[in-house]
Structure 1
Amino acid sequence: MHEVSLAEGVIDVVERAAEGAHATAVSEVRVAVGELSNVEIEALAFAFESVKKGTVANDAKLVIDRPEGRAWCMTCQKDVPYHRFGDACPICGGYQVVVSGGRDMRVVDIKATTPEDSDKADS
């Protein structure tokens, strides 16, 4: 299950970002997982719940955005929505398509608490 290693990678990014911001806790992690990324969403969410234990993201909620797959059709020369590898172009029916988006996975946003946030709450 490669989703465990993906979740570990997300936690690594979160921990480095939290350390750089001197964050004491992370409450939310937003990731974009492209429609064509071959990532099983439920498995990623389950893995995240396991690997976050004992980290700065221990109580963090995982929010997953799903950017649509996109492709460039060489036949009709258009950028088209593309939902599954091997499908024809939805406009012309041609199969000469090159995936142009929706294959990646990345951490988009992290909501964290820093010492400055605690100081503001005490005022």
Structure 2
Amino acid sequence: MSTRLKLKAQLYCGDEIAMGPGKAALLAAIAETGSISAAGRALGMSYRRTWLLVDVMNRCWKTPLVETAAGGSKGGGARLSALGGQVLDSYRVLETAIEQAAAGAAFDALAAALLTQPRQAQKK
């Protein structure tokens, strides 16, 4: 097994996670599908979980990230607001910067000193 490093960026608004990998994936899916429920299905999320995540995002930013239109004869749906698109783009840039920073000499030095598996526990 190769050495792996797991980093994830989470932005907090009070105690709520305003943006993280899952919420970014949900925003991208909403942009692609034009629907909150379809985005949730595409990501394997329940309808309730999807709407709760959108609610948190919409409450944590200066303006809502997701805009909805009621259903009916005109169809309804959802789309990212201007801020929603900006937040998603900026978050993706941040993720790339974190990945690039983690792929440097400091990681290589740590990986060289790390065992592939832990030693057996010492008995006392």
**Does TM-score exceed 0.5, indicating one fold?**
no
Q: Which has the higher strand share?
A: 1
- TM-score normalized by the length of structure 1: 0.25
Greater relative CO (CA pairs within 8 A, separation 6+):
1
